[in-house]
Amino acid sequence: MDKTKYIFVTGGVTSSLGKGIIAASLGKLLQARGFRVTNQKLDPYININPGTLNPYEHGECFVTVDGHEADLDLGHYERFLGVETRKSNNVTTGRIYQNVINKERRGDYLGKTVQVIPHITDEIKRNIKSLGSKGEFDFVITEIGGTVGDIESLPYIESVRQLRWELGKNCIIIHLTYVPYLSAAKELKTKPTQHSVKTLQEQGVQPDVLVLRTEHNINQEIRNKVALFCNVEPYAVMQSIDVPSIYRVPLNMQQEKLDEVVLTKMGYDISQIAPVKMEKWIEFVEKLETAKEEVRIALIGKYIQLPDAYKSIMESLIQAATYNNRKLKLEMILSDKLNDENVEKKLAKMDGILVAPGFGVRGVEGKFTAVKYAREHNIPCLGIGLGMQIMSIEFARNVLDMREANTTELEVNTPYNIIDIMDEQKSVLDIKGGMRLGSYECSISKDSLAYIIYGQELISERHRHRYEFNNKYKESFENAGMICSGINEESNLVEIIELKSHKWYLGVQFHPEYRSTVVNPHPIFINFIRAAIN
């Protein structure tokens, strides 16, 4: 039993059923039995990666250590498993086609007609198997984005069919569907599930396990019926019921025996396998569910209508609040609507203010208003990415009296009349797609809030931005009390700024939210919430 095993998670009936959470939960359960697991996401869209997608379309763009702009499901995988993902953990149709076309141009196909089958499907299979080929993992869990029956998903489902055939017991397929409850009839309906499985079967794929998403308990009778209609054993039909927090899902799926069924189907003798060990996780979930006292945090951003746009930040805040024995009360504030007239009303009662990352000019005025208010009223304030840049510019304008302070990004039409607090990315850096992306080191000065937070002098955090603090102004900032406590020494770039005289005022150019997990919450968020409480 030393070969890597492949598990596929497909979805039917509707999107947004939480395939990513089910895939991550299974990964967690297998990991908690001592297996080495990685999760992968295949996205059926044509974009090369989600870097160019508007957050309204697809939620947040997650960034891996190796600087890949990835689907937000990779964030779930990392938060659940605590294992770093990489570029190979997220593949899109665009990348598959790009690879195939590059090979065609190089002449790799030796004059053959290049086709969806076998060339595209071979490339898909190669990308799936590449994760297992180095022997690093016992299980590769691959989530197929989209819904079965979509035109876009066809080559992926076909690849899964072929792999199931090639790998036999070393491959299984989990299909996630939805069982709606009709309140007028007071009945749970399985017909959509039957149809969805039929669609898979028409494409030559027989699921081994069915997970039924539901808002009401599904009794054994209904499970038996689904089993009978779908050619799946009754013990392999299970439910995933709505829960108040996604962190409950692995525990519920353990109750449903998802891990046991998967292992049994792959030929393991379950009595010989270590039991699930996840005390820390359970402790976290219990804390999360019992915390009563609230901590009120305002999140100032321009995409707040779609909370998924700030997924990792929100989860980091939830984790940090939980570890501080508090219930997170998050106020999402649309930065476009925040101004001098309403700022008092909106922010005075907040324990802490977080200014979100972002791109472009829309909504920045409200962010200036928020950081100024936090600075002047001694409210703990964390600025991330653009948030840190706004903190710098606001300080220059209102404390250093540099009225023209700005950044070229926000002054698109008049780049030369401003005092450019943020410098455009220096070309000496390893620039991926015009941005500084992925993990970079940062040295922390000892006498600083940052050092209290991290407790170490050298850290590494993930980046995704184009502009950098302009070193020309460093001295005047520091003389006025805004110190640059974190520096990337390799390229002499400011990574962290903090206001000495303030209770807790910290701006970070990087994204700590990508590194916060359930078992290892990020110290910046932990410390921010602690300051907000006191």
Residues of this chain that bind ligand GLN (CB under 6 A): 357-359, 385-386, 389, 409, 464-467
Q: Which is nearer to ligand GLN, 7 or 435 (CB)?
A: 435
Q: Judge whether 140 and 131 are in contact, CB under 8 Å.
A: yes
Q: At closest approach, how far in Å is the CB of 395 from ligand GLN? A: 17
Closest to 86 in 3D by CA, of 67, 61, 59: 67
- The nearest distance, CB 40 to ligand GLN, in angstroms, is 25
**Cα(416)–Cα(488) distance, integer angstroms:** 27
- Minimum distance from CB of 522 to ligand GLN (Å)? 16
Nearer to ligand GLN among residue 92 and residue 389 (C-beta): 389
Instruction: Report in angstroms how near the CB of residue 74 gets to ligand GLN at its nearest.
Output: 17
CB of 362 to ligand GLN, least distance (A): 12
What would the DSSP string read from start to end of 379-431? --EEEETHHHHHHHHHHHHHTS--TTEEETTT-TT-TTSSEEEEEE--TTS--
Q: Which helix (H) or strand (E) holds 506?
A: strand 505-508
Q: What Rg, from alpha-carbon coordinates, does the chain have?
A: 25
Please say which residue, 432 or 503, places its beta carbon nearer to ligand GLN. Answer: 432
CA 320 to chain centre: 16
For residue 295, the Cα-to-chain-centroid distance in whole angstroms is 23
The residue among 97 and 359 lying less far from ligand GLN, judged by its C-beta, is 359
Q: Which residue has the tokens 């353990």?
A: 254
Q: Which helix (H) or strand (E) holds 467?
A: strand 467-469
Angle at 22 between CA 32 and CA 46, to 5 degrees: 125
Chain centroid offset of residue 362 CA:
24
Closest to ligand GLN by CB, 58 vs 216, is 58
Residue whose CB is nearest to ligand GLN in the complex, by number: 385
CB closer to ligand GLN out of 138 and 468? 468
Q: Which amino acid is at 193?
A: T
Q: What angle do CA 166, 173, 74 make, to 5 degrees?
A: 105
The C-alpha atoms of residue 167 and residue 165 are separated, in whole angstroms, by 6
Side chain identity, residue 407 = T
> Nearest distance from residue 380's CB to ligand GLN, in Å?
20
Q: Rounded to the nearest whole angstrom, what is the least distance from the CB of residue 443 to ligand GLN in the complex?
A: 20
C-beta of 206 vs 425, nearer to ligand GLN: 425
CB of 400 to ligand GLN, least distance (A): 21
Beta strands in 148-216 (DSSP E): 171-178, 181-182, 187-188, 209-214
Nearer to ligand GLN, 33 or 465 (CB): 465
End-to-end CA distance of the chain: 53
Residue 436, C-beta contacts closer than 8 angstroms, at least 6 positions apart: 425, 429, 463, 464, 465, 466, 468
Tell me the closest approach of the beta carbon of residue 47 to ligand GLN, in angstroms: 19
Phi, psi dihedral angles at 218 (to 5 degrees): -105, 115
Q: How far is the CB of 316 from ligand GLN (least distance, A)?
A: 15
- Which is nearer to ligand GLN, 413 or 534 (by Cβ)? 413
Strand partners, 214: 241
Question: Encoding tokens for residue 120?
Answer: 């595209």
Of 12 and 383, nearer to ligand GLN (C-beta) is 383
Q: Shortest approach of ligand GLN to residue 404 CB, angstroms?
A: 19
- E-assigned strand segments in 286-364: 294-301, 327-334, 352-355
Which CB sits closer to ligand GLN, 203 or 491? 491
